[in-house]
Structure 1
Amino acid sequence: EKVHSCDQERQSALEEARQNPREGIVIPECAPGGLYKPVQCHQSTGYCWCVLVDTGRPLPGTSTRYETPVCESDARSKSTEIDDPFKDRELPGCPEGKKVEFITSLLDALTTDMVQAINSAAPTGGGRFSEPDPSHTLEERVVHWYFSQLDNNSSNDINKRELKPFKRYVKKKAKPKKCARRFTDYCDLNKDKSISLQELKGCLGVSKEGGECLSFLLHENKSLTWSYSKLR
């Protein structure tokens, strides 16, 4: 199994920051043994977030600005017996080591858009909001929501025509931009020119491992609030 090393990523990020000082590169903070510190920050923007200490993967819903989030000191990815076909799959055109950063930025954008869409729909939604599956993580709910937005004909596949707005969205919202050009090809695992829900979840790295449960609370004033609780 591939060993993730924070030290290697830090050296790479420092070198990139020296070459591109205006890019605002995130420099990971490392703990002994090649692990990541549980709190990572982007100094130029003031944002901090929690990560899995063994992989450095950000935990959705934990980012704060100008304050330090409360993070588990030893949160790790859980091993699974099911092979992930996207784990070592190359994303054409994406700079080395940037795939996770790109996918994380895309998920963050999708999460923000889902919140805004639900908030804007709540006052005129007829007073009823469909309750999400409580077994789904936050990331899963985001992907299910976006898939339903794209799947106009309810075929359970995003066809070539339906993929066009997805391609535009990815190019506009996710960074680095170089990773966006072939992302739909990357998601199309079986090369059938369409993307299934499972393919979309897979290419976005979404699983229940280490995720967070999202609860929707619709109050009498019809404002929507969010609460997060760790899945156990």
Structure 2
Amino acid sequence: MPPNTKVKEFAGSNTNFQRVLAGKVTVQDFFTKPEFAEDKEKFMSIYKEAIGERSPDSLFNDESVAAAWIAKLRFNQEMTDEQFTKLINRSEEIFKGNFDDLNLTSTTPEENDNCAIMWGIEALNGIQAFDSGATRVRLPTGVAPKIVKALEDGGAFARDSTHATGTKLVDKGLGKDIAQESMRAFTPRGMGALLVVPTSPMEVVRWSKPPTLVLAHI
């Protein structure tokens, strides 16, 4: 799927943004350093027209979702803006606890909640995006254990991981692979699995209490 026409034109004419897409300038630098301020403003205008602004009560701010959109532009050429927006919005529903169960088996990317959670992690990380490994995200109270239970009900299983042993709390994390390999085209940086790991002793008991978990997409 060809990229958004305006962002394609912007990338074609703006050397700094070309460097961002090539990974030569970090998203964090692009969004924070004064020398990129004018280019950032132009990019954010394109983003708001293509994706739309977040509501005041959103868990994600516009810059965070725009940073995730840059990841999509870099690594997910087959993915449409409509699919991206649907996954971001669904991830927010999940991270607010507004769900009954998780669909982890659909082979339609925008309907798969594993993909949605991955993109939600990307948005929560915002401009401090990461290319591999693990990241910690904070969720509203009570949501983390609800997600863990829904993942278990959806077929996630205990799996060995250096991310799990790295916490010194558990030997295994709770993992769920994407429904099929071709869906890597619709996950951040082609990630293939979601891993959930407790990060405090209180969480090890039924993985409940504090709303902080490590979610690693591998």
- The structure with the largest alpha-carbon Rg is 1
Q: TM-score range by the shorter chain?
A: under 0.3
* More helix per residue: 2
Q: State the TM-score, normalized to the length of structure 2.
A: 0.25
Relative contact order (alpha carbons < 8 A, sep ≥ 6): 1 or 2 greater?
A: 2
Q: State the TM-score, normalized to the length of structure 1.
A: 0.24
